[in-house]
Structure 1
């Protein structure tokens, strides 16, 4: 099974020189309420995978940020979304991006989709000390398999278990509500335009039920992040297209 070896790992190179990332924390009786990103989702469509996330981050019962990005390119043909502690999530994503870039420079080729998914699982497993103290980040990952000519989607658990999903996956405080919406509307054969509309509608549905999920804010012009991964590679959907989908979804939700 293809994987990033210690020689091909940027994080391993940093650790060799005493500069590696630290995921452990000292035990203590204090309480932290760091900003947490909430709902992300992904599902397969005819040409690949669509991935989306709301923009809200909460700290306890307070809205900490309204414009947080939770969906990122991993490389040119894959994407990652995160739910959980926002600061740790951003560091995890940046390190994952660097690891994939480092591997490609050393090997002269991209890591396979399975290899990327497995390496992300090992990174999630590496943050277990922080998870035991309540500082949890759980990602979703998707990529386009250039050999199989299909989009692939993976979900994770807090201990780094990696699970390939055949249809859709959700994560975060509004994940259950988004999943229920997708269950009733999902079709693996839908076109990209319909997939974008469905992703936004599922987040709107989650925001209707979950206080941690931020729905589209038309007045402030804050909309979900939506991306696609297909044979053409990673693509971020334009904000005006998402705004159009958000208006339709909010009209139906009334």
Structure 2
């Protein structure tokens, strides 16, 4: 109103001179009220698309369990983005230090970022205290590093397999800071239900190295056979008192054929033994 009085502008005369049907937008109706209301969209709320593209599916199979000599960890090698196989021979295990190995599941970039951050923090801890942190201590470090990223669409899960002053230990850390450290067997990824079915059938406390090797290879092999997002090859890692070692990589298709032949031969031997009795 103050601007109208200064400019000597008569609002009543301006309204009378303005044409009623004047509209710069031909599809928009001008109402008598100062607010313009657009017609509602005809699409129902249930048929609207969510914000942004659908999240890509992350698939993998990683497992770890404690045996008589330490910890054995096994992973597949297929990296996928949705239904696309990006790499058939990637490595899904990161060496944090000489006695701590981390198997990863989720986004490759997120796993590399947090794996490097954990290795740095462990090294700083060693420089300050003169020794590396325990496996549970490293899991707590990783949980503290990942917790600020909760709710930011970070996708990363770590299984820390290590040997410390208390012996072999396995810890699981999820990207929201969740920690699990009271289990002898952990499997993570889209193929974990199939891997658990094999491990639950053959795992026992205090099993030997050769028995543990066969069980780990068989679990990852069957998971890769059943899960569309797992495949490639099998990597088996050993975490003992002397450090970490890795077996030679085996192709999943060839390994599955070998396991089928061994199972067939075993069944035939058992049938022959029953016939003799």
Could you say if the C-alpha distance between residues 156 and 249 of structure 1 is closer, same or farther in structure 2, counting changes exceeding 3 Å? farther
Structure 2 residue runs without a partner (length 5+): 1-49, 265-277
Structure 2 equivalent of residue 233 of structure 1? 243
Structure 2 equivalent of residue 191 of structure 1? 208
Once the two structures are superposed, the pairs formed by residues 3-152 of structure 1 within 5 Å of their partners are 29-31=51-53, 36=58, 38-131=60-153, 135-146=154-165, 148=166, 150-152=167-169
Once the two structures are superposed, the pairs formed by residues 204-223 of structure 1 within 5 Å of their partners are 204-215=221-232, 223=233
Could you say if the C-alpha distance between residues 87 and 107 of structure 1 is closer, same or farther in structure 2, counting changes exceeding 3 Å? same
Distance 1:245 1:156 in 2: 30
Q: TM-score, normalised by structure 2?
A: 0.69
Structure 1 residue runs without a partner (length 5+): 1-27, 216-222
Q: Is residue 168 of structure 1 aligned with residue 178 of structure 2?
A: no
Task: Please state whether the residue corresponding to 2:177 is helix, strand or coil.
Answer: coil
Deviation at 1:154? 1.2
**How many matched pairs?**
215
Q: TM-score, normalised by structure 1?
A: 0.75
Deviation at 1:42? 0.4
The answer as to whether partners of 2:231 and 2:252 remain within 8 angstroms in 1 is no
The answer as to whether partners of 1:55 and 1:70 remain within 8 angstroms in 2 is yes
Structure with larger Rg: 2
Bigger relative contact order, structure 1 or 2, given CA contacts below 8 A and separation 6+? 1
Task: Please state whether the residue corresponding to 2:176 is helix, strand or coil.
Answer: coil
CA RMSD between the two structures: 2.7
Q: Is residue 203 of structure 1 aligned with residue 203 of structure 2?
A: no
Could you say if the C-alpha distance between residues 229 and 243 of structure 1 is closer, same or farther in structure 2, counting changes exceeding 3 Å? farther
